[in-house]
Amino acid sequence: MAEYNRRVQLTGGATFVVSLPHEWTNRNNVKKGNAIQIEDLGNRLVLRKDSSSRDEITRVLEIGSSTPKEAIHRALTSYYIAGFDNLIVRSSSYMDEKARNEIKSFSKLVMGVEIFEETAKSMMLQNVLDSSSFPMAKSFRRMALNVETMITDTLRVLEENDIELRQSIISRDDEVDRYHFYMMKEVMKKSAEDHSVIFLLLLSRIMERIADHTVNICLFLESNDEDRHDTIDGDIIKFLKSSNDLFMKCIEQYNRKDLSALNSLIETRKDIVKERNEIRARVSGNSNLLSSSIAEEISRIGLYSIDIAEILMDMVLSGVNEAKI
């Protein structure tokens, strides 16, 4: 990223003026009379060409008749994170139904992307979501709420052996992934202007992993349907409740940012490991692999929650020169 030094000029007795770098104006096609957006970030100002007059970003993905659907999905995800207004997926021959279904599935997985046009050899996707109306902080809160609900519902599954709810939790993992991909895209776009957004990406990744562990618990239960539900160790539910409480307390600190509270939450790591080890040691003699596996997944939820607290502490301290804990 280039840096430029400019002297501040005073005009009219009250207006400070700084000239724009010639390289930047050429690269962004800025002409006389164009509007420039200026964002105040405290000790920094971010300049950008007025979004209403910016050039659209169109990307093209060429696929073949034998391109694996997994490769198509990975490439579409990468382009989504990089950002586009229009994405054209095209084939030199007739695009088969397998490829079309994968593209349609992708458009439902990510936020703000719709199929705009289809031909025999191509499909066009458009990004229709204005990110200014859905800021990253709002996405973070929505994602956190979804994860909290998944954990709470997993508790109900353990308590009531609700099979329909178990399947619902497994399917909801896609919704958490949608928010995670959106956060990745927004961080890619804004990281050059505001380095603090990288913390939101880390938080998003951790919540996505927590959601995966709730799904793992449900999958373990699903694969052991032939076992009696009451053979699960009695402390499993208590362990998940305490991990869920820890998760919610860590998420609350996103707004509060209390360094002493964050430090206290981080220090509970040893309690999570101790509880997990006690359950696994108790059930090992009974060959209760299900309880042991679930205890491991619950401990991951708790330990990832502590990671959230650590990242929030990093986030707070990165923005101040003095702190007290």
Would you write out the chain's pLDDT as a tens digit for each of its 325 residues?
Answer: 567 788 888 787 778 888 888 887 877 778 777 778 777 766 677 777 665 555 688 999 999 988 999 999 999 999 999 889 999 999 988 999 999 999 999 999 999 999 999 999 999 999 988 777 788 889 999 999 999 999 999 999 999 889 999 999 999 999 999 999 999 999 988 876 777 889 999 999 999 999 999 999 999 999 887 655 567 888 999 999 999 999 999 999 999 989 999 999 999 999 999 999 999 988 876 657 889 999 999 999 999 999 999 999 999 898 787 888 7
CA 171 to chain centroid: 17
HSE, side-chain direction, 13 A CA sphere, residue 140:
22
Domains of the chain: 9-53 (no CATH), 58-129 (3.30.110.20), 132-318 (1.20.58.220)
The dihedral built from the CA positions of residue 299, 304, 309 and 310, taken in this order, carries a sign that is positive
CA 48 to chain centroid: 25
DSSP 195: T
- Give Cα separations from 37 to 26, 100, 129, 235 (angstroms): 17, 39, 20, 56
Q: Where are the beta strands (DSSP E) in 92-226?
A: 113-118, 122-127
**Cα distance between residue 32 and residue 234, in whole Å:** 72
DSSP 43: S
Q: What is the pTM of this model?
A: 0.78
User: Bridge-partner residues for 127, per DSSP?
Assistant: 113
